[in-house]
Chains A and B, each alone.
Chain A
C-alpha cells in the first residue's frame, strides 16, 4: 500500500486508440503529479495539480495528452490517438504532507502502457 492507487496496472493498446489512466490518493493530498518513465530514464514531468487546478503542464506534452482532477481527489490522464512512442510507465505521485518533514513524493505503482 503506497498511499496512491493507480489503475490499470498494465494496458496494451493498438496504435491510434485512446487510453485513460486513473490515480487515486488514499487520503486527501492537495498536490498531485503525473510523470512518465521509459526504460533507463528517470521520471519525466508531465503535469501537476493543486486541488482541482492544473498548475503546470510540460511543454513536451502534446495536445494528445490531457489530465483532469475534477473534485481535487482522484485524477485521470488521457492519451488520444496513441503512438508507439507513448509506450512507457505512467506514474502518479502525491507530495508528502509537510508535517512529515519531507516534501518529496509518494509514487503509485504506475500504469505500464504498451502501444502495439
Chain B
C-alpha cells in the first residue's frame, strides 16, 4: 500500500464545473499537506498548502483536510481548460524540514 493514495483518473469535467480531487494518506504523524499541479512535460508547481483541519480557500481552489479520516481534497471551482493537468497530493511529517511524500497524481481534463 502506498503512503499517499490518489485516484489516477482520468477525471473529466465540463468547463465551469467543480472538479473534486481526493487523497488519502497512511502516516498519522503527517502535519503538512500540499497540492501540486503538473502540466505534461513540466515540473510540479505548488498551488495549495494546508496544515489544520477544515477548509482553506485561495481563489478558485479550496483545500480540505480531515486528519481523523486521513483525507485531503482539492476542489477547483469554475474549472477552465487551462486547469487540465495532473494534480499531485503530497504530505510531510515535519512542517519545516524533512521530505514530502507524493501520491501518483490524478489527471484532470476540463472539456470546453
Interchain CB contact under 8 A, A104 and B46? yes
When A2-B43, A102-B46, A107-B44 are in contact, do A43 and B32 touch as well, CB less than 8 Å? no
Q: Which residues of A contact B96 (CB under 8 A)?
A: 98, 103
| Residue of B whose beta carbon sits closest to that of A92 | B43
Distance between Cα atoms of A103 and B8 in the complex (Å)? 25
When A43-B88, A104-B49, A104-B90 are in contact, do A109 and B99 touch as well, CB less than 8 Å? no
Range, interface on chain B? 20 to 34
Range, interface on chain A? 20 to 34
Residue A62 lies at the interface, judged by CB distance under 8 Å to chain B: no
Distance between Cα atoms of A96 and B46 in the complex (Å)? 10
Residues in B15-69 with C-beta less than 8 Å from chain A: 32, 34, 36, 42-46, 49
Q: Which residues of B contact A96 (CB under 8 A)?
A: 46
Residue A50 lies at the interface, judged by CB distance under 8 Å to chain B: yes
Residue A110 lies at the interface, judged by CB distance under 8 Å to chain B: yes
Interchain CB contact under 8 A, A102 and B101? no
Distance between Cα atoms of A103 and B100 in the complex (Å)? 10
Interchain CB contact under 8 A, B49 and A103? yes
Give A1 Cβ to nearest chain B Cβ, in Å: 13
Residue A76 lies at the interface, judged by CB distance under 8 Å to chain B: no
Interchain CB contact under 8 A, A108 and B105? no
Distance between Cα atoms of A104 and B89 in the complex (Å)? 11
Q: Which residues of A contact B88 (CB under 8 A)?
A: 42-43
Interchain CB contact under 8 A, A31 and B97? yes
Chosen A-B contacts, 10 in total, with CB atoms closer than 8 Å, are A33-B99, A41-B104, A95-B97, A103-B95, A103-B96, A104-B32, A104-B36, A104-B49, A105-B44, A107-B45
9 interchain residue pairs of minimum CB distance? A42-B102, A107-B43, A104-B46, A104-B34, A45-B99, A42-B104, A43-B102, A110-B43, A104-B49
